[in-house]
Structure 1
Amino acid sequence: MSTYKEIAKRIAKIIVSPETAIGFVHGVLSVPQDLGYLAYGYLNTESRYNRDTERIRLIKAVRFGILQNESFINTIETILKKFNQYVPKNKRDNIYAKIGSSIVGRTVTNSIISKKIATSIAQRSTLMIALRGGIVGNTLLAGGMAERSIYTSQRLQRTEPKIYNALRPKNYDFLYFLVEPALHPFVEALRVRRTQGEAAFNQILELVEKEVNYGK
C-alpha cells in the first residue's frame, strides 16, 4: 500500500489539474497486458464458468452503450462521490476550493473533475487503438481486454466491495480498469479508512489539503 503522503499527493494533483490523468492512464491499454490477461484467462480453468457468465454480462453492457463517453464520466463521478461521502464538509470546502467548489458545490465539482479525467482517458484510448491496427490484432486484443476488464472487476469486488456495489448496477465495474490508474489514490484512501480507521483517513485529508494549498 502507498504511504499516506503518496496517496495525498496524487489526490491533490488530480483535484488541482484533472487533465494530468492522461499521465496516470499511460499504458492502460497496453498490448502486453492485454495479451497477458488473454493467456491467463485460457489457463485459469477454475473460474472459467464464472468468467463466462461475466463475459455475457459484458457483451450485453457493450451492446447497450457502456462504451459511450458518458459512461466513463458516470463511472468516475460514482467513485468520487463515494470518496466525498466520507470527507467532512469543512475539509471538502478547503480541498475543492482550488477549482471553485465553494461556489459551484460538490456535485458540480465532481462533474468538472470527472469530465476532464474522462476526456483524457478517451483521448489516450483513441490514440492507442489507432496504433494497434489490423482486424486480427484488434480482435485478439479485444479478447484480452475483456479478460482484463472482468478480472479487474472481480478484484475490485474482493478488495473494495462498496465501490464495486456502487458501480455494479449499471455495469460500470467493467470500465473500472480504464479509470483505475487515475482514481487509484481515491480508492487507496478509502481502503485506508476501511482497514486503519477514520483517524488515518483524516490524516490523508490533512495532507491533501496541504498539498492543494501549497500549489496556490
Structure 2
Amino acid sequence: MSTYIDIAKRIAEVILSPDSVIGLTYGVLSVPLDLGYLAYSYFDTDSQFIRETERIRMVNAIRFGILQNDNFVKTIETVLDKFNSYVPETRQNGIYANIGFSIIGRAVANSIVSRKIAVSIAQRTSLMITLRGGIIGNILLAGGMAERSIYTSQRLESSDPEIYYALRQHDYDLLFFLVEPALEPFIEAIKVRRTQGSTVFNQILDIIENEVSNG
C-alpha cells in the first residue's frame, strides 16, 4: 500500500494531466508481460475451469461491443464515481474547478475527467488505433492478453470487491487491466478510507486539493 501522500499526489497528477496516464500504462500491449501470464496459466490448473468460464464471458462481451472506445470511458467513470461517492460535493467542486472547467455536481466532474483521460489514451497509444481497426479482439482472445485480463479481474475481486462488482455488472472488469495504472490511486484511496477511516481519507483530499490548486 502506498503512503497516503503518494496516493494523493498520483490522483492529482491524473486529474491535472491525463496525458501522464500514457507513462503510467505500463505494458498495455506488452508482449513479455502477456507471455508471462500465458506461461503462468499453463501451470495454474486449479483455476482452469473458472478461467475457461471467463473466456466464454469475454467472447460474448466482445461480440456485444465491449471493445468500443466509449466502454473504456465508462470503465474509468465507474471507478471515479465510486471514489467521488465518498467525497463531499463541496470538496469535489474545490478540486475539479481547478482543471479549467466550471463544474457543479459529481456527474459532470466524472464525465470531464474520465473523458479527458480516455481521449488522451485514444490519441497517444496504438491500443485504440488497434481497437478501431478491429484487430484487438482476436489478439485478446488469442493468448496472454486474455489471461492478463482474467487474472487482473480476479485480483480486483479479491482485493477490492466493491470496485469489482461495480465494473462486473457491464463486463468492464475485463477492460480494467488496460486502465488499471490510471485508476489505481483512486482505488487505493478508497481502500485507505475503508481500512484507516475518514480522517486519513480527508487528509488525502486535502493534499489533492492543494496539489491541484498549485498545479
TM-score > 0.5 by shorter chain: yes
Q: Deviations over 1:32-90 (max 9, x none)?
A: 11000011111100010011111100110011110000000000001000000000122
* Worse-superposed segment, 119-128 or 34-43: 119-128
Whether the aligned pair in 2 keeps the contact of 1:71 and 1:172 (CA below 8 Å) is yes
Is this contact kept in 2: 1:22–1:117, CA < 8 A?
no
The equivalent residue for 1:103 is 103
Counterpart position of 1:72: 72
Instruction: Look up the match of 1:121.
Output: 121
How far apart are the structure 1 equivalents of 2:128 and 2:103? Answer: 36
Could you say which residue in structure 2 is the equivalent of 1:157? 157
* d(CA) in 1 for partners of 2:125, 2:3: 28
**Change over 3 Å in CA distance of 1:180–1:140 after alignment to 2:** closer
Structure 1 pair 166/211, CA: closer, same or farther in 2 (3 Å)? same
1:171 corresponds to which letter in structure 2? D
1:155 and 1:35 map into 2 onto residues whose CA distance is 18
Higher mean C-alpha displacement, 35-44 vs 139-148:
139-148
Distance 2:8 2:193 in 1: 13
| Shift of residue 27, structure 1, vs aligned partner | 2.3
> TM-score scaled to structure 1, two decimals?
0.89
- The alpha carbon displacement at 1:101 in A equals 5.4
CA distance in 2, matches of 1:29, 1:206: 35
Alignment match, 1:18: 18
The alignment's TM-score, normalised by the length of structure 2, stands at 0.90
The residue type paired with residue 173 of structure 1 is: D
- Deviation per CA, 1:107-158, whole angstroms, max 9, x where unpaired? 122112111211233342438969xxxx9xx859841000000000011111
Q: Distance in 1 between matches of 2:23 and 2:104?
A: 27
Deviation at 1:104, TM superposition (A): 4.7
| Alignment partner, residue 175 of structure 1 | 175
Could you say if the C-alpha distance between residues 100 and 129 of structure 1 is closer, same or farther in structure 2, counting changes exceeding 3 Å?
closer
* Alignment length (residue pairs): 209
Where does 1:77-96 land on structure 2 (aligned, <5 Å)? Answer: 77-96=77-96
Structure 2: state its 5+ residue gaps: none
Aligned partner of 1:44 in structure 2 is 44
Offset, 1:20: 1.9
Moved runs in structure 1, 4+ residues, more than 6 A? Answer: none
Identity of aligned residues (%): 63
Match of 1:32 in 2: 32
Q: 1:127 to 1:172 in 2, by over 3 A?
A: closer
**1:25 shift after superposition:** 1.1
Secondary structure at 2:86's aligned position in 1? coil
Q: Does the aligned pair in 1 maintain the 2:12–2:211 contact within 8 Å? A: yes
Q: Report if aligned partners of 1:156, 1:164 keep a CA contact under 8 Å in 2.
A: yes
- Helix, strand or coil at the partner of 1:28: coil
Alignment check: 8 A CA contact 1:25 1:179 kept? yes
Find the aligned partners of 2:64 and 2:184 in 1 and give their Cα distance.
27
